[in-house]
Structure 1
Amino acid sequence: MTTIDELISGYTDEPGYFDFAKWGPISRPVVEEERALVDVQARARFGSEVALTEQAGRVRRAVSAVVGFPADQVVFQPDTSSGLVHTLFGLTGQVLMSPRDYPSGPVAATRAAAAMRVLEPVWMDLDHDVVTPAVVQRHLTDRVTAVAVSLVDYRTGYLVDLEGIRQVIGDRLLIVDAIQGFGVVDAPYGVADVIASGGQKWVRAGWGTGFLALSERASATLTPVFSGVAGTELRLGGSYHETLPTLPGAAAFQITNSDPIAQARFSTALEGIASVGVAAISREIADRASRLIDIADEFALPVVSPRDEAERAGIVVLEPSPEQMTTLTAALLNHGVTATVRDTTVRLSVHLSTDDDSFDLLRGALTSFGTTVYY
């Protein structure tokens, strides 16, 4: 069992980093695991291949421990988008989704609709720019076979009500792009049929890491369109001119053998999270996000992301007046505060390693901003 302080001690990012919603600096244990396996791969000592090949099973078990899906219903993916492409190209009927979600889902849906001609995206008209059970219910018809949502909206930081959405959609497939909450949101993943996520953000495992988890209903419903060598019941040395059967369950949704070192990085990060517990991590993230909101209020910067802990995760979005945007951006830059700036908003995101030094840098930036703003 790892304590939360021990988990925090493994992070080495420098103060001022408030951009975990973009990507999370990897931890020291992840770095050490990668170095160890790179050395194994470089030396190719007799029998060393076992240490590499065993990572596929390890990563399935690590994901299973966090999301609660059986390990045999989990398959490693190099990123969230790959998992969503597998899902939406394999879906038939109408899929209800938000046109404002991160483009991984909408792009996969429109590409699948154009190429396969068996899927039709249905776009929700949102209330207050967020997806709620009421919005979903208003758009449901008998032709809708699946609903796709983001666990946390990348623009607004809004945490979707998965249980409420499950209640209104009945036995339709519930597809969840979990990337902006996976690892820091204690979500009821058991109500979902498909979960896709990457490990480069809140899990802090680096790029090239992710997974796709399927319920039994999803496994029976989805067609593994992009099932390659690794997803096929294949015996090397034969003839391959005939259609080969796919592997059962989630294993069918893969193309080729994955990078074992990426799998090891992902496993190491997830094992640390599971040892502490997502619920404990979520409480710490909530406290830091609340502190961030308090500082924004102190400097009269409008917070346009949710304030209610039940509706937010680790993202806080500020929207200064248009004439203040350049000044605020410059103040953050000059004080070494890393954030995501888009059009009219500044997105700040916190993690366990967001400490007093980081908040001091942010306060210094906002103090500088405040002294140059005239009302």
Structure 2
Amino acid sequence: MRDALLDAIRLSATGAPGVVDELHDRETRAADVAAKLTGFDRAGVTLVPSTSAGLFHVAFGLNGPGRVLVPRHDFPANVYPWLRAQERGGLTVDFLDTPDGHASPERVAAELRPDTVAVTVSAVDYRTGCRADLPALREVIGDRLLVVDAIQGFGVSDQPWHLADVVVAGGQKWLRSGWGAALFAASPRALDRLTGGLTGWSGVEDRAVFDATEHPVLADAGRITMTMLNPLAITGLLTSLTELERAGQRAVAEAVTGGADLLVERLLSCGAELLTPAEPGRRAGIVSVRLDEPRWSVVTERLRELGVVATARPGYLRFSVHADTTVDAVELAASAL
């Protein structure tokens, strides 16, 4: 990854003829790989600057009337786009209470209304690590749009992404490609229902023709853009997606599950209270434990001393197990508890 980014910086610094085109061509290549990994038609795949940017495009592209069901306790990136669109006359927001991070099919079904047109969930809950059941959600919501914030699962969780209508995942989490680029995949059904919304000059026909007229928006997912992306961020995402394709999503997911299983086992043996479901099929790479004071402060300090990186939030700790997390690292993390 570092070598690929450094090479891109060196290339851009030359200013040689064709360099800009060569760097921006990587956007097309990254979208090609993203289409293969998600199972979406290539016409439905593009790149956006971030997960938030992609979700804002969807929220502002779905005009009312109608309602969208949003998990109240989800990460704010999957809440604010819908609230902002509602403020400007878009879809009406209905909140789904998910204090345990589980947008279960039963909970979703109970909150659906006749005029609900979209349901949005996270593939994996950022706090508890609880994994969404995409097949069951697809069955429950029927023809409504299923929008998935996949950033906490894509790259380490082998899920049937193609069952969703929109999948957005930034590269800075499990893909480890850095900030500034995210994959965006949309089904034909979603593209049919999304208007121009926040489309900018890069998402229209004949974007290189500057004739002082408004051009029609693109028919494919390319219209989910505002402007050209950072080619360095694109390089990072392309590198990560290519490596994921080479390694295989299933193989990576199995390695992550094995590491997470071991960490869960060790944490339970230490008397930890899991926030994450213990069953492997209901989680991905996030393993969280509840810790109250004074133990929270003691454990977080011990983790720093050991050189173990964990996310410490008031009342809980979140560990992230990747495919290359070693057994020794897992044992070291558990020893702090």
Category of TM-score, reference length = shorter chain: over 0.9
1:108 and 1:235, CA in 2 relative to 1: closer, same or farther beyond 3 A? Answer: closer
Please state how far the C-alpha of 1:237 moved relative to its aligned partner.
5.7
1:338 and 1:235, CA in 2 relative to 1: closer, same or farther beyond 3 A? Answer: closer
Q: Distance in 1 between matches of 2:98 and 2:331?
A: 37
The equivalent of 1:296 in structure 2 is 267
What's the secondary structure of 2:94's corresponding residue?
strand
Q: Distance in 1 between matches of 2:104 and 2:38?
A: 22
Please say if residues 119 and 145 of structure 2, whose CA atoms lie closer than 8 Å, have aligned partners that are also in contact.
yes
The equivalent of 2:127 in structure 1 is 155
Q: Distance in 2 between matches of 1:235 and 1:337?
A: 48
Is 2:318 aligned against 1:347?
Answer: yes
The equivalent of 1:16 in structure 2 is none
1:37 and 1:321, CA in 2 relative to 1: closer, same or farther beyond 3 A? Answer: closer
Write out aligned runs for 1:50-61 (5 A).
Answer: 50-61=21-32
Greater shift in the superposed pair: 339-348 or 229-238 = 229-238
The equivalent of 1:281 in structure 2 is 252
What's the secondary structure of 1:54's corresponding residue?
helix
Is 2:211 aligned against 1:230?
Answer: no
Aligned AA for 2:157? V
What's the secondary structure of 2:304's corresponding residue?
helix
Please state how far the C-alpha of 1:234 moved relative to its aligned partner.
3.5
What's the secondary structure of 2:274's corresponding residue?
coil
Matched-pair identity in %: 34
Q: Distance in 1 between matches of 2:275 and 2:162?
A: 30
Q: Normalising by structure 1, what TM-score?
A: 0.86
Please state how far the C-alpha of 1:150 moved relative to its aligned partner.
0.4
The equivalent of 2:81 in structure 1 is 108
Write out aligned runs for 1:100-179 (5 A).
Answer: 100-115=73-88, 117-126=89-98, 128-179=100-151
Please state how far the C-alpha of 1:238 moved relative to its aligned partner.
4.4
The equivalent of 2:12 in structure 1 is 41
The equivalent of 2:221 in structure 1 is 250
Please say if residues 56 and 263 of structure 1, whose CA atoms lie closer than 8 Å, have aligned partners that are also in contact.
yes
Please say if residues 52 and 260 of structure 1, whose CA atoms lie closer than 8 Å, have aligned partners that are also in contact.
yes
Q: Distance in 1 between matches of 2:59 and 2:208?
A: 30
Greater shift in the superposed pair: 228-237 or 165-174 = 228-237
1:213 and 1:235, CA in 2 relative to 1: closer, same or farther beyond 3 A? Answer: closer
Write out aligned runs for 1:72-83 (5 A).
Answer: 72-83=43-54
CA distances 1:6-58 after superposition (whole Å, capped 9, x unpaired): xxxxxxxxxxxxxxxxxxxxxxxx11111112111111233334421311211
Aligned AA for 1:179? I
1:265 and 1:161, CA in 2 relative to 1: closer, same or farther beyond 3 A? Answer: same
What's the secondary structure of 1:361's corresponding residue?
helix
What's the secondary structure of 2:273's corresponding residue?
coil
Please state how far the C-alpha of 1:192 moved relative to its aligned partner.
0.6
Q: Distance in 2 between matches of 1:265 and 1:126?
A: 34
Q: Distance in 2 between matches of 1:364 and 1:130?
A: 29
Please say if residues 267 and 334 of structure 2, whose CA atoms lie closer than 8 Å, have aligned partners that are also in contact.
no
Equivalent of 1:337 in 295, 299, 308: 308
Equivalent of 1:265 in 226, 236, 252: 236
1:237 and 1:132, CA in 2 relative to 1: closer, same or farther beyond 3 A? Answer: closer
Please say if residues 306 and 332 of structure 2, whose CA atoms lie closer than 8 Å, have aligned partners that are also in contact.
yes
Please state how far the C-alpha of 1:129 moved relative to its aligned partner.
4.6
Please say if residues 131 and 284 of structure 2, whose CA atoms lie closer than 8 Å, have aligned partners that are also in contact.
yes
Aligned AA for 2:152? Q
Greater shift in the superposed pair: 343-352 or 125-134 = 125-134
Task: Tell me: higher relative CO, structure 1 or 2? Use CA pairs within 8 A at least 6 residues apart.
Answer: 1
Please say if residues 78 and 210 of structure 1, whose CA atoms lie closer than 8 Å, have aligned partners that are also in contact.
yes
The equivalent of 1:98 in structure 2 is 71
Please say if residues 335 and 364 of structure 1, whose CA atoms lie closer than 8 Å, have aligned partners that are also in contact.
no
Q: Normalising by structure 2, what TM-score?
A: 0.95
The equivalent of 1:187 in structure 2 is 159
Aligned AA for 2:25? E
Please state how far the C-alpha of 1:342 moved relative to its aligned partner.
1.1
1:320 and 1:233, CA in 2 relative to 1: closer, same or farther beyond 3 A? Answer: same
Please state how far the C-alpha of 1:322 moved relative to its aligned partner.
3.2
CA distances 1:206-230 after superposition (whole Å, capped 9, x unpaired): 1112021110110110112111110
What's the secondary structure of 1:118's corresponding residue?
coil
Q: Distance in 1 between matches of 2:139 and 2:297?
A: 44
Q: How many residues align?
A: 335
RMSD over equivalenced CA pairs, Å: 1.5
What's the secondary structure of 1:322's corresponding residue?
coil
Is 2:279 aligned against 1:308?
Answer: yes
Greater shift in the superposed pair: 347-356 or 280-289 = 347-356
Aligned AA for 1:287? G
Q: Distance in 1 between matches of 2:93 and 2:193?
A: 17
Please say if residues 127 and 135 of structure 1, whose CA atoms lie closer than 8 Å, have aligned partners that are also in contact.
no
Aligned AA for 1:67? T
What's the secondary structure of 2:43's corresponding residue?
helix
Q: Distance in 2 between matches of 1:87 and 1:363?
A: 41
Aligned AA for 2:259? R
